A and B are shown apart, each in its own frame.
Chain A
Amino acid sequence: DVKVTQSSRYLVKRTGEKVFLECVQDMDHENMFWYRQDPGLGLRLIYFSYDVKMKEKGDIPEGYSVSREKKERFSLILESASTNQTSMYLCASGRPDFEQYFGPGTRLTVT
């Protein structure tokens, strides 16, 4: 079974803090993704990576950056957290043109 794990299930941070969300997959997938999910807006792609050290912006990259130093690990960074970044963050991995597998999600609250 594919396993995608995320570093935290719940996180509470203060406005202005730097936040790191980490994701690890064990299926040697080339592609990894970060989404956020908000009520009424569905899943929105923040960034994705198709290889180590390679990344591309998704639909809503502003306020976020990513890092992929190893194939199995993809990190999402909020440089200076803001209240409008309160959301559910979902990491996924997959092969090109195939389905994606999701981690359990991190529910981030920024106060």
Chain B
Amino acid sequence: RKEVEQDPGPFNVPEGATVAFNCTYSNSASQSFFWYRQDCRKEPKLLMSVYSSGNEDGRFTAQLNRASQYISLLIRDSKLSDSATYLCVVNRKDSSYKLIFGSGTRLLVRP
């Protein structure tokens, strides 16, 4: 079983749609959680950190469910520019230094 699992997609949605991505992680001791965005042939960039109480940044909402070891990302009012791969990231149990990256969920927003 992978340490971080994501649905690879692609999710193909029209502009203006709301789309949700889910991610599960296997290490119950993980403390840090993030969503990264990666455009084609570019480096991953931090989208947002995920806090226990849930957090929102404009059209983006991230939530954490520790009991179910589950992280989600909700994108409202999708824009064409949101088309990218979204990576779920958690820290690793054997070291505070290392992060584990999911393989990513691809989002395509169509006009």
Chain A at the B interface: SS class: strand
Interface residues of A in 42-80 (CB under 8 A from B): 42-43, 45, 48, 50, 56, 58
Chain A-chain B contacts (Cβ-Cβ < 8 Å), number: 44
A42 lies within 8 A of B49 (CB): no
A34 CB → nearest B CB, Å: 12
Number of interface residues of A (CB under 8 A): 23
Q: Say which one of B13-21, B39-47, B56-64, B68-76 lies at the interface with A.
A: B39-47
Number of interface residues of B (CB under 8 A): 21
B24 at the interface (CB under 8 A from A): no
A99 lies within 8 A of B44 (CB): no
Among residues of B, the one whose C-beta sits closest to the C-beta of A103 is B43
| A43-B49 contact given A96-B96, A97-B31, CB 8 Å threshold | no
